[in-house]
Amino acid sequence: MLNAESSRVITRPHIPGDGARITALIDRVSKLNDEDVTHLLEAVIQDFSGRHRNFRETLQKNFDRIAAHASKRISLSSEQQLLLGAYFTAEYSVEAAALFNPSIVPHPDQKGVAKGSKRFVMSFRATGEGHVSSIEFRSGLVDDNHDIYFDPISQYVATPEMHTDPIFHRLHFRRKLEEMGALDRVTNKLLKGLGETFTFDKLQSQIQKLRSSKFRLKDKNHAIDTALWLARSNYEVIFRPDVQVSERVIFPVSENESRGIEDARFVRFIDEDKSVTYYATYTAYDGFHILPQILETTDFLTFRMHTISGSAAQNKGMALFPRRVDGKFVMLSRQDGVNNYIMFSESVRHWDEAKLLQEPIHPLEFVQIGNCGSPVETPDGWLALFHGVGPMRRYSIWAELLDLDDPSQVIGRLDEPILTPDEHERDGYVPNVVYTCGSMIHGDTLIIPYGIADQRSRVATVSIPELLSRLKAS
């Protein structure tokens, strides 16, 4: 059983929105004598430095965030700056409430792994105070006996650094603006001055030019706010190389995900040129609206986040196939919250059409069905897991087989679930739920990490030959 640990905490800026409060606090600290400053700072370092890597650096960064509020007549010592950094810093327990809805993929580094074994990376939805969700990771090994071992969990938790100037693609930017109903003569003017790819600095430069144009102020401000919102929704974060897998937390950064990054479905994608990219679709939530997003990484150190555009990219639960089919990207999706759909596209970030794949047919799934992560490839077809919701909002996990060449065709489907909540799994934050965001094949076994009652997680294994035999018989 994998349980949430409230002791796993990150640091976050804790800065009042009222500038006068910031200035007043700076003034109070500036009036402390040197002995008091030293005493207070030493107490903070003693109590908190063992809980966070590079703690002094964090305090200095948080002071730098508010340094402009300091009066020019005040000269602050390095110790005063660090102490002020502490006043504007707070701890946040990323998994105080839950650690659930996992997915699993092979680790990008398999060097030194014994024959018959495989290293893996497992992702989780971690939920803390205020029900804000983030992405956490664990690493481990599955051996030739299909026994699963997790690497020791670090006592530290770390968030990544923002890339200073990520690259944007004008085509994707334009598509999303059009989808949002924000593509007009003002935004077209803004885009016209940008290249096929552009940086945030370049966008800011074009915005300054737009401010001095002859368009109405209201129209200019709307275009600028929309473009900045979209740009900040597409960003890049980087973890330091010495940060262990279990220390890495992707915490909400942009406005559209301010209330949570939910249910990341990771997949190891092999493109036609044999290059490998790890993608994960996830739901960004701002407290009012959901926005489908996709992240990509090759090493689980650098992550690039992108908005997904297109008329079919409108709901939760999108899951990418691990390779192209007939030259196209393929995605399972949920368009209406009831049925399973499938989509095909030339671009991994733009999805226009969705085709109904299946409807609920069993009484245990009459309420709704939805995918449980990316399908895995077998010689007999695409093995896909999905969830069904029945009486008393009880979730179960099912399996089906899709045609390899035309995955819009269901060629096998079990008439009973492979996982339902037992008496030890039904209680928790959301009772009677089992749910997974992705499985992995190892040898002849399907490894399924799954969430329990939206609170904790565990791992199940299923014999693939036995499962395929039942699916083909169905």
**pLDDT (tens digit, 9 = 90+) per residue, 9-57?**
999 999 999 999 999 999 999 999 999 999 999 999 999 999 999 999 9
CA-only gyration radius of the chain, Å: 24
Per-residue pLDDT, 288: 87
What DSSP character marks residue 114? P
**Least confident span in 162-171, 221-230, 257-266:** 162-171
Q: Is residue 410 part of a domain?
A: yes
**Which pLDDT score is estimated for 164?**
67
**Which of the listed residues 58, 93, 128 is the one where a domain comes to its end?**
93
Pair (407, 291) in one structural domain: yes
Q: What is the pLDDT of residue 413?
A: 96
Please write the tens of the pLDDT for every residue from 328-351: 999 999 999 899 999 999 999 999
Instruction: Give the residue among 252, 196, 197, 203 at the shortest CA–CA distance from 225.
Output: 203
The DSSP 8-state label assigned to residue 363 in this structure reads G
Residues 240, 191, single domain; the answer is no
The residue-averaged pLDDT of 213-223 equals: 94
Q: Is residue 308 part of a domain?
A: yes
CA distance 197 to 318: 26
CA atoms in the 13 A half-sphere facing the CB of 50: 5
> 414 by DSSP, 3-state: which?
coil
Residue 351 domain-assigned (yes or no): yes
Residue labelled with tokens 């960004």? 284
* 102 shares a domain with 17: no
* pLDDT mean over 407-421: 97
Q: How many domains does the chain have?
A: 3
- CA neighbor of 452 nearest in space, from 429, 438, 434, 437: 434
Do 324 and 395 fall into the same domain? Answer: yes
Query: Does residue 2 lie within any of the structural domains?
Result: no
Give the pair of three-digit tokens for residue 160.
């990544």
b/e per residue, 246-261, with b = 16+ CB within 10 A? bbbbbbbbbebbebbb
Residue 288 lies in a domain: yes
Confidence band of 397 (pLDDT split at 50, 70, 90): very high
pLDDT interval class at 81 (50, 70, 90): very high
Is the same domain home to 184 and 150?
A: no
DSSP 420: -
Residue 418 pLDDT exceeds 80: yes
Of 51, 78, 93, which marks where a domain is finished?
A: 93
Give the dihedral sign, CA 378/380/384/389.
Answer: negative
The verdict on 254 and 352 lying in the same domain is yes
Q: Across the chain, what does the average pLDDT equal? A: 96
Residue 307 to residue 417: CA distance in whole angstroms: 33
Q: How many CA atoms lie within 13 A of 294 on its CB side?
A: 20
DSSP three-state, residue 355? strand
Contact 457, 451 (CB under 8 A): yes
Over residues 79-87, the mean pLDDT reads 98
Q: Report the percentage of the chain scoring pLDDT > 90.
A: 94
Say what the pLDDT of residue 464 is: 98
| CA dihedral angle for residue 238, residue 228, residue 167, residue 345, rounded to 10 degrees | 100
User: CATH number for the domain including 426?
Assistant: 2.115.10.20
- Hey, how many other C-beta atoms are within 10 angstroms of the C-beta on 118? 19
The answer to whether residues 88 and 102 belong to one domain is no
Confidence (pLDDT) at 314: 82
- Please tell me whether residues 297 and 413 are part of one structural domain: yes
325 and 257 in a common domain: yes
If we measure between CA atoms, which residue out of 283, 256, 304, 252 comes closest to residue 92?
Answer: 252
Residue-level pLDDT at 474: 85
Residues 254, 224 share a domain: no
Q: Do the domain assignments include residue 336? A: yes
Number of H helices, E strands in the chain: 9, 28
Q: pLDDT-based confidence at 316, cuts 50/70/90?
A: confident
Query: Which of 89-98, 281-290, 316-325, 399-408 has the least mean pLDDT?
Result: 281-290
Cα separation, 434 vs 417, in Å, equals 11
- pLDDT range class, residue 104, cuts 50, 70, 90: very high
Question: Pick from 125, 116, 234, 123: which is nearest to 173 by CA?
Answer: 234
Question: What percent of the chain shows pLDDT beyond 70?
Answer: 100
Lowest mean pLDDT of 86-90, 113-117, 165-169, 420-424, name the range.
Answer: 165-169
Residue 3 forms part of a structural domain = no
In a domain, 1, yes or no: no
286-314, pLDDT tens digit by residue? 988 888 999 999 999 999 999 999 999 98
Contacts 24+ apart (CB under 8 A), 355-358: 355/408, 357/332, 357/408, 357/410, 358/400, 358/410, 358/413
Instruction: Determine the structural domain holding residue 220 and report its residue range.
Output: 167-232
Same domain, 182 and 312: no
Task: Verify that 64 and 129 share a domain, yes or no.
Answer: no
**In this model, does residue 390 exceed pLDDT 70?**
yes
Q: Supply the pTM of this predicted model.
A: 0.94
Q: Per-residue pLDDT averaged across 64-85, rounded?
A: 95
Q: What is the pLDDT of residues 250-290, one digit of tens each?
A: 999 998 999 999 999 999 999 999 999 999 999 999 988 88
**Domain finish residue from 232, 260, 278:** 232
What DSSP letter does each residue of 28-83 carry, written as one string? HHHTS-HHHHHHHHHHHHHHHGGGSTTHHHHHHHHHHHHGGGS-TT----HHHHHH
Beta-ladder partners of 381: 378
